Amino acid sequence: MNVGIVCYASVGGSGIVATELAKALAARGHQVRLISTERPIRLGEFQAGLAFHEVQTPGYPLFRDPQYLLSLANKLVEVTRAFDLDVIHAHYAIPHAAAGYLARQILAASGRRKVPRIITTLHGTDVTLIGSDPSYSETAAFCIDQSDGVTAVSESLRDDTYRHLPVRAEIQVIPNFLDCRHHRRTVDERLLARYRGADPESKLVIHVSNFRPVKRAGVVVELFRRIREHLPARLLLVGDGPDLAGACRRAQELGLAEDIEPLGEQELVVPLLSLADLCLLPSAQESFGVAALEAMACEVPVVASRVGGLPEVIADGHAGFLHDPDDLDGMTASALGLLTDAALHQRIARGGLQRVHEQFCAEEVVPRYEAFYERVLAGDAASVARA
């Protein structure tokens, strides 16, 4: 099967999962074309069956903003004609599904007999933030409905889509996943000595995100402050975004700057997660929670908010602990329990690893995408109105 996968190249969950899907499909014998504005951060080295195509969006004085939608649609037409794509898999409704729809119309109007099917995967903010904005909602709903198949990464997101948008298409839930051969705990003692500090009893806490307001980086710092009141610890902030600087300023105000290390964007997070004793994810909203999944795969217990798709990822009390977003006392208590009770820490770490391997490894999830592609190509999963 010839598949074109469209995604953002950033370290956000959608780009990570789309890139991992492209690699997994290529490993299973498909011909995959990954299409984005720049080389995705998780693409890695050359892999047979996988190629990257860059979307270039020139700027012209006539246009106030770069016309990414138009240049992406044009690139999809070019790649389809050159490589005979069967499927264009758009990760994000706006603008990727819109570009896929436009490319399909161009190809059909040109007289091409074989036109690729459009599959759209919803990841979260394309529905809950961008799609639900009145400026985009009708366009987002139209592009979702015009797709030949639609998936969402969690049941929570599927329900949110129907709640926020006038969408009538059937939405299949296929969760995010990891390559569990690579996402596993691998401790580098040199890194451990560097980031844990001189005190062997010190604990290492980690937060991985794109540092948007929804991730609540300030709450991460506050939870760390509370942890530090009871035991020696250090905090690693992995990722970059608009709220990182504010979190660092808050750490300085609290006198914690020397105990917090902002590491910026990192292509390889497994070595850093493998150092950690605890992962904090007190988000205001998560449609899935890839950061939690990666931590669990590395046997790092997660303390997180009970929001969105996180309860579908973290079995509360078995694979981590969930609390209401405003329950900082509860989050602190769970964090301290994990950091001071070795037996509890081991039980939760093993529970998280077990849950990942039972439900979220590529071997379990990627065949579901393949089956969905086949259904769409056969016409069995076309966008149909809900009963």
Q: What is the mean pLDDT of residues 211-237?
A: 96
Q: How far is CA 158 from CA 145, 162, 167, 195, in A?
A: 14, 7, 10, 40
Q: From residue 375, how far is each of 20, 63, 371, 383 by CA, in Å?
A: 22, 40, 6, 12
The first and second tokens of residue 154, run together, are 């969690």
**pLDDT tens digits, 107-116:** 999 988 899 9
Confidence of residue 384 (pLDDT cuts 50, 70, 90): very low
Size (the chain), residues: 387
Distance from CA of residue 82 to its chain's centroid? 30
Is the alpha carbon torsion for 315, 318, 321, 324 positive or negative? positive
The order of strands in the sheet holding 302-305 is 260-264, 233-238, 203-208, 278-281, 302-305, 321-323
Give the Å distances, CA to CA, from 71 to 6, 32, 67, 110: 13, 20, 6, 18
Are residues 80 and 54 in contact, defined by beta-carbon separation less than 8 angstroms?
A: no
- The mean predicted confidence, pLDDT, of the chain is 91
Which strand (E) or helix (H) includes residue 313? Answer: helix 310-313
The crossing angle, in degrees rounded to 10, of helices 68-83 and 98-109 is 50
User: Is the confidence at residue 188, as pLDDT, over 90?
Assistant: no
* pLDDT tens profile 265-296: 888 899 999 999 999 999 999 999 999 999 99
- Mean pLDDT computed over 170-189: 93
| Kind and range of the H or E run holding 108 | helix 98-109
Domains of the chain: 2-177+362-377 (3.40.50.2000), 189-359 (3.40.50.2000)
pLDDT grade for 65, boundaries at 50, 70 and 90: low
The string of pLDDT tens digits covering residues 84-106 is 999 999 998 888 999 999 999 99
**228 vs 231: CA distance, rounded Å:** 5
Whether the per-residue pLDDT at 206 is higher than 50: the answer is: yes
Q: 64 Cβ partners below 8 Å, 6+ apart?
A: none
Phi (first) and psi of residue 350, to 5 degrees: -70, -35
Least confident of 57-71, 250-264, 277-291, 369-383: 57-71
pLDDT band at 197 (very low <50, low <70, confident <90, very high): confident
